[in-house]
Amino acid sequence: MHTTFRIVACVCLLALAVTMAAFTLADLTREKPAPEERLYLGAWEGSVAIFDGRGGTPRSVTDIDLASLRAADRALIEHGCPVAGEEALQALLEDLGS
């Protein structure tokens, strides 16, 4: 009985290890956009701006004034806020502008 329990426990642990390895491998092979291809919201001359990557010149500057944002939103924008695509960008801009 004790030996059977050990065998079952080892099989379960082995199955768990294989599953975890498969998920890790899937995550490593998933294509991630390069930092320069990502969109970011950031601060530019007192306004919210859209960047194609970290730093540099923004691709466009919005008419949303940083001073009009809540403190938490302003801090997020000032530190750079990654955006997961054009749809998410439009949703965030609408939220910040309202």
pLDDT digits (tens, 9 = 90+) for 25-40: 666 666 555 544 689 9
Read off the DSSP letter of residue 45.
Answer: T
> What integer pLDDT is reported at residue 13 of this predicted model?
57
Domain range enclosing 17: 1-30
Read off the DSSP letter of residue 81.
Answer: E
> What integer pLDDT is reported at residue 98 of this predicted model?
80
Return d(Cα 51, Cα 28) in angstroms, integer.
26
**Does 21 lie in the same domain as 40?**
no
> What integer pLDDT is reported at residue 26 of this predicted model?
62
**Does 45 lie in the same domain as 11?**
no
**Does 43 lie in the same domain as 17?**
no
8 A C-beta contact, residue 81 and residue 42: yes
Provide the whole-model pTM. Answer: 0.61
In the structure encoding, which two tokens stand for residue 31, read together? 């294509």
pLDDT digits (tens, 9 = 90+) for 39-98: 999 999 999 999 987 668 999 999 999 999 999 999 999 999 999 888 999 999 999 988
Q: Provide the domain count of the chain.
A: 2
